[in-house]
């Protein structure tokens, strides 16, 4: 492993923050060079850094179209950043160490624990092996299915390249696409609104990348273990409910909108409704024109983006477990229950406090950035809120605001993507002073609530 980690006295959150920042800086410099563009001209450093941040933070917001602007070299740089950003640079470093048969130190295990959002170091290296194996296997399978479908639309070599490239992008919940190469920049998957293969494969990749590697491992080993952990039960049930409710809401709101679902058949309506319910789970592709959707649908997507994916996944947001914990706490309070119980298991109070802390910090960050951008960008408020939440949740969906951002707006959104990828709590730990143990406790007081 890298000796820097052995010598450093920094906390794991700070090492993660600096590591991601270094990867973004390197990617930005490479993308700004002439060889990375199709025209052979230099890309403005702000746009290059914005793209590198979006790729490393697996977001998908872009100021230049990926298919028409970047050369083959530029596209390969982007997909490498997506892969490293999705799995985490510490995961990649650990993989190299395992291949070279290097010993994983305690310090490095602590960093991996933080990166994978684990409560303990037990089995962390074994989990990393599973993460890499599952990721590569799923990406290859998804890429193969994409390639077979696109072989009917383009030469076989290009179909294979497009298939593998987009499989990596979708599984890592990045949302980058190359379809601007066919003459319609920022088109995403709109040409495949009623294509069952493209829709189902893309949704499967997004969901698998978004549920988290712990859940994936739990499900795969269910046949031998005959049980699922509480974490997996919560993630799977919450994911299913959010996708189902999201599809129903979008279907109802957009059913008569001729600019979206109103102009397609029943098959297209159902596929597009489910697709646009899955995509806000931090993925980013779209088959509907988001700017043409009704404001009710756009605001509902903002809520889905804020919730995001699950812990230990390639996605962002406050996470499904945080959302479910808060809902369970509200229900318990209304019913007058002292304990918060999920699947007949009681949650510890520190879990509740952590969920509340993450939600309040995230909400405060989204509100603050939205207010700032509302004064610097000439855009409607809902569009700015949508863009800000998309950046925080590392989603990548946009109402067309991204290419029109000012330099200041691009910098702010870049920082928002960075904060969303690390998580507000990890960022707070990284930037804050080292925690010290309290030597005494104050007497308990009472205030009136509600």
Q: What is the mean pLDDT of residues 210-225?
A: 83
- The confidence score (pLDDT) of residue 310 equals 87
Q: Which residues contact 66 (CB under 8 A, 6 or more apart)?
A: 51, 75, 78, 176, 177, 178, 180
pLDDT interval class at 108 (50, 70, 90): low
pLDDT per residue over 392-445, tens digit each?
A: 998 989 998 999 999 999 999 999 998 888 877 666 665 666 656 666 677 877
| Mean pLDDT of the 331-338 span | 88
Which tens digits make up the pLDDT trace of 144-184? 999 999 999 899 999 999 999 999 999 988 889 998 887 67
Whether the predicted pLDDT of 110 surpasses 70: no
Looking at residue 45, its pLDDT comes to 93
Residue 208 CB neighbours (<10 A): 24
Read off the pLDDT of each residue in 19-40 and give the average, rounded to a whole number. 91
What is the pLDDT, as a whole number, of residue 4?
A: 44
Using CB atoms within 10 Å of the CB of residue 7, give its burial: 0 to 12 exposed, 13 to 18 middle, 19+ buried. exposed
Q: Are 398 and 387 in contact (CB under 8 A)?
A: yes
Using CA atoms in the order 108, 124, 314, 385, what is the torsion angle rounded to 10 degrees? -70
**Distance (Å, rounded) from C-alpha 146 to C-alpha 201?**
8
Q: What is the pLDDT of residue 389?
A: 95
254 vs 232: CA distance, rounded Å: 32
C-alpha angle 429-431-12 in degrees, rounded to nearest 5:
50
What residue spans define the domains of the chain?
3-430
Q: Are 164 and 127 in contact (CB under 8 A)?
A: no
> How many whole angstroms separate alpha carbon 402 and alpha carbon 60?
10
Lowest mean pLDDT among 27-31, 46-50, 348-352: 348-352
pLDDT, position 359 = 92
pLDDT at residue 120, rounded to an integer: 53
φ, ψ dihedrals at 114, nearest 5°: -70, -45
pLDDT for residue 222: 80
Contacts of 75 (CB under 8 A, 6+ apart): 66, 165, 178
CA pair distance 136, 341, nearest whole angstrom: 36
pLDDT digits (tens, 9 = 90+) for 365-391: 999 999 999 999 999 999 999 999 999
What was the pLDDT predicted at 101? 57
Q: Is residue 100 over pLDDT 60?
A: no
Q: Which residue has the higher pLDDT, 213 or 366?
A: 366
**Contact (Cβ atoms closer than 8 angstroms) between residue 240 and residue 267:** no
pLDDT of residue 20: 83
What is residue 118's predicted lDDT score, i.e. its pLDDT? 55
pLDDT for 160 equals: 96
pLDDT score, position 10: 63
- By the 8 A CB rule, do 272 and 287 touch? yes
pLDDT of 197: 93
Q: Where are the alpha helices (DSSP H) in 226-287?
A: 230-254, 266-278
Residues 6 or more apart in contact with residue 158 via CB below 8 angstroms: 150
pLDDT at 17: 79
**How many CB atoms are located within 10 Å of the residue 342 CB?**
17
From the list 107, 87, 105, the residue with the least C-alpha distance to 12 is 107
pTM of the full structure: 0.86
- Find the DSSP H helices in 88-120: 89-99, 106-115
pLDDT value of residue 311: 83
Residues in Cβ contact with 60 at an 8 Å cutoff, skipping those fewer than 6 apart: 54, 169, 174, 175, 176, 283, 284, 285, 394, 395, 396, 397
pLDDT of 324 over the 90 cut: yes
For tokens 């988001």, the residue is 290
Q: What is the mean pLDDT of residues 126-139?
A: 81
Mean pLDDT of the chain: 84
pLDDT given for residue 7 in this prediction = 42
How far is residue 56's CA from residue 75's CA, in Å, rounded to a whole number?
Answer: 13
């Amino acid at each position: 492993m890298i000796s820097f980690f052995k010598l450093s006295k920094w906390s794991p959150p700070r090492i993660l923050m600096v590591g991601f920042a270094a990867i973004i800086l390197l990617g930005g410099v490479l993308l700004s060079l002439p060889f990375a563009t199709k025209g052979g001209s230099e890309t403005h450093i702000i746009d290059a850094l914005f793209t590198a941040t979006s790729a490393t933070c697996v977001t998908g917001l872009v100021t230049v179209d990926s298919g028409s602007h970047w050369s083959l070299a530029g596209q390969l740089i982007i997909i490498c950043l997506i892969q490293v950003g999705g799995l985490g640079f510490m995961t990649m470093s650990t993989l190299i160490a395992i291949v070279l048969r290097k010993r994983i130190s305690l310090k490095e295990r602590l960093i991996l624990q933080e990166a994978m959002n684990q409560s303990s170091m037990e089995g962390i290296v074994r989990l990393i092996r599973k993460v890499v194996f599952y990721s590569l296997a799923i990406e290859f399978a998804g890429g193969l299915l994409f390639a077979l479908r696109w072989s009917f639309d383009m030469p076989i070599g290009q179909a294979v390249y497009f298939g593998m490239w987009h499989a990596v992008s979708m599984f890592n919940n990045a949302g980058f696409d190359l379809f601007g190469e066919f003459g319609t920049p920022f088109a995403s998957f709109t040409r495949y609104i009623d294509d069952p293969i493209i829709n189902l494969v893309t949704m499967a990749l997004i969901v698998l990348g978004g549920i988290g590697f712990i859940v994936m491992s739990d499900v795969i080993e269910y046949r031998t273990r005959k049980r699922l952990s509480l974490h997996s039960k919560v993630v799977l049930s919450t994911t299913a409910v959010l996708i189902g409710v999201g599809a129903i809401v979008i279907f109802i709101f957009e059913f008569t909108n001729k600019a979206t679902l109103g102009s397609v058949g029943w098959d297209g309506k159902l596929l597009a409704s489910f697709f646009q319910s899955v995509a806000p789970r931090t993925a980013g592709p779209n088959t509907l024109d988001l700017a043409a959707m009704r404001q009710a649908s756009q605001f509902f997507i903002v809520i889905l983006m804020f919730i995001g994916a699950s812990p230990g996944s390639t996605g962002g947001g406050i996470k499904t477990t945080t959302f479910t914990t808060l809902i369970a706490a509200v229900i318990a309070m209304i019913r007058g229950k002292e304990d918060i119980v999920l699947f007949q298991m009681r949650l510890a109070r520190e879990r509740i406090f952590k969920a509340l802390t993450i939600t309040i910090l995230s909400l405060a960050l989204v509100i603050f950035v939205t207010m700032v951008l509302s004064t610097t960008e000439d855009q409607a408020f809902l569009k700015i809120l949508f863009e800000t939440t998309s950046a925080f949740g590392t989603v990548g969906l946009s109402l067309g605001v991204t290419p029109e951002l000012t330099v200041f707006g691009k910098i702010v959104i870049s920082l928002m993507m960075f904060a969303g990828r690390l998580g507000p709590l990890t960022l707070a730990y990284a930037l804050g002073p080292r925690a010290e143990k309290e030597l005494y406790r104050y007497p308990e007081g009472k205030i009136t609530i509600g």
